[in-house]
Amino acid sequence: MAVSVFYRICHSSDSEVSDCDGKHSSKPDAFQYALRLVARAEQFRAGLSLKLQKKGYSKTDISKAAEKLSVMGMLDDSRYARLWLASRMKRGSASPRELLAVLCSKGISHATASAALKWLFSDSGEEPSNSEITLLRRYIAKKREGLSVVDLRKRLRFEGFSFEVLDCLVDE
């Protein structure tokens, strides 16, 4: 990853940081610290800003660092949301509505979170995606609560499952 290479070039030791212009300081500037965080794990703008704020960086420095990383392609809320959703699909049983709410509560915009959900559930055909069907099955197994099929369909629709995937429920 380009971030790792850039990080290694700019990082001389834990106690001393080079700003890639040859200057040394005991505390990295906001961009350097943000670069460290991005090198460790995928970040999103609001989360990165909060981490930098907790370290005492000014809002102006935080904004500049986030913008610079975004322009470099190292900070992308859409990519973070897609990766987070893919990770949740491997272990979770949340509904689309719950997934959307969690992403939005983290600071991802509603439009970005919705687009990531559409990406997750997109397949080339007219049929529901395997991801959405898998999520539906997990959700039903965990939260059916003895509901009738009609009530279950209403609940699932409220939770954000598509009509197409609900038709699969009727078929099963």
CA dihedral 145, 147, 153, 155 (to 10 degrees): -50
- The C-alpha atoms of residue 80 and residue 103 are separated, in whole angstroms, by 10
Note the pLDDT of residue 170. Answer: 59
- What does the pLDDT look like over 18-42, one tens digit per residue? 445 455 556 789 999 999 999 999 9
What's the predicted TM-score (pTM) here? 0.75
Report pLDDT for 17.
42
Residue 126 has pLDDT above 70, yes or no: no
pLDDT score recorded for residue 151: 86
